Amino acid sequence: MKNAIKVKNVTKIYKIFSSSYSRAIDAVGIPVKHKEFVALDDVSLDFKEGECYAILGKNGSGKSTLLKIITGVVAPTSGSVKVDGRISAMLELTSGFNGDLTGIENVYMKALTMGIGTQEIESRMQEIIDFADIGDHINQPFRTYSSGMKARIGFAVAVNVDPDILIVDEVLAVGDDIFKMKCVDKMSEFRREGKTILFVSHSLHTVKAFCTRGAWINKGKVQIKGSLGDVVVAYEEFLKSERSRVRAEAKKAGENGMPKQRGISKRDLVQTKGFAFSHLGDSRGSKFMYGEDIAWEFTYEVKSKDIGELTACFTVRDSEGAPILILDKRRYHIDNSLGVHTVRFVLNDPKLLAGKYLLSGELWELDSGCSFGYSGKRAFSVRQTEYFGTGTVHLDHMLYVDGESIAPASQSEPDSSSTLEQTYEIE
């Protein structure tokens, strides 16, 4: 299998100046004292035709620099890159667009910057419009678009110009779930067609499902490359060791007289507090009736400007600890700006049967994988005044006999002396 891309001994060094004036002086050929930052250090990688290749690494590891060099946006300090085929890169989906032009006008302009002729883009225009799916907004100025609409246009152009090589850098972090599914389906179609895909994502779940080979880059150097399984195992072990190192440094700082930290999840980064179950209109605490919305609230304070994307999730378990629902921790992105914020989760008409349940909840910092717990197996109970059967959840259902629906046996209303509610309340 021949190479679609061959990266050989690539090094990229950036000059770090003390001021913009020094940078301007250096740009006109007058030597100025500066520091150097090695973004890539003697990197060699081969990307075969038809494979989906993952590039892993923390922020600042050199991943984006490598992709920019491959696409010709940035020139290497030394080394070479050989590309065989048309590249379509999704590094910054909204770059290269003009805010005063309409969506369609921007499609033409973006295509021209990619080296695609007017005739070809006209033949694909309807596919691009259909894929972006932003309706009549396609004829409105680009500056009036939301960030999601801009991303849709950028992705639609990138995947509908019939590239041989597709480069994807964290673009699935934008847009709604339906559009993300459409993007994944399109990339899956490319993979089936034998196109080469370079994939950068912090979501190891997506990487595992999509890629076959990969490389892990750290501080500009390739740490391991080859089979995706081997690369992911090594990278996950690195992330674990990094978290342990940060905790150890926090503990050491506390021993040296600085404010003590209970891990990195409490004191200096994010702190959660004030967790409480809540009802509409009263304060019965953690006791709920069957079919009643189950809600809880808490606040969190972001104390560090270095916090990356934050998400909120929860897990509901039965009294024996078996999971009923484990929410995807990447599903809900929340505010990561400095200050105090309030979160309220509501389970609408959950139909949990009478019993005791446990709620756990965390905030996640996606870049590092660090979690910040806000609820550690808090107990809550559900009681009911009607018996449906045993189990955990009541499922709505219908019974038909000979095509005719059969109503369930009626339950008599309990009188004032009834103990039905107490019978099915579990403490």
For 13-17, 64-68, 183-187, 302-306, which range has the lowest pLDDT when averaged over its residues? 183-187
- CATH code reported for the domain at 3-237: 3.40.50.300
> What is the residue type of 368?
S
For 23-32, 118-127, 169-178, 218-227, which range has the lowest pLDDT when averaged over its residues? 169-178
Tell me: pLDDT of 12 over 90.
yes
More confident residue, 352 or 416: 352
Q: What is the mean pLDDT of residues 87-105?
A: 79
Q: In 10 A of CB 46, how many CB atoms?
A: 17
Closest CA to 165 of 43, 40, 7: 7
Q: In 10 A of CB 305, how many CB atoms?
A: 8
Q: Using the 8-state DSSP alphabet, how is residue 393 labeled? A: B
When the pLDDT of each residue in the chain is averaged and rounded to a whole number, the result is 83
Compute the distance between CA of residue 100 and CA of residue 143 in angstroms, rounded to an integer.
6
Q: No. of H helices and E strands in the chain?
A: 9, 20
Helix (H) or strand (E) segment spanning residue 394: none
Compute the distance between CA of residue 35 and CA of residue 45 in angstroms, rounded to an integer.
28
> What percentage of the chain exceeds 70 in pLDDT?
86
For 29-75, the DSSP string reads T-----EEEEEEEEEEEEEETT-EEEEE--TTSSHHHHHHHHTTSS-
Tokens 């059969």 correspond to 406
342 strand-pairing partners:
299
Domain residue ranges of the chain, discontinuous segments joined by +: 3-237, 270-423
Q: What is the mean pLDDT of residues 274-291?
A: 80
Per-residue pLDDT reduced to its tens digit, 353-380: 988 999 999 998 876 667 889 998 899 9
Q: Do domains 3-237 and 270-423 have the same CATH topology?
A: no
- HSE, side-chain direction, 13 A CA sphere, residue 23: 8
Tell me: pLDDT of 204 over 60.
yes
Q: Which two tokens stand for residue 128?
A: 């691009």
- CATH code reported for the domain at 270-423: 2.70.50.60
Give pTM, 2 decimals. 0.56
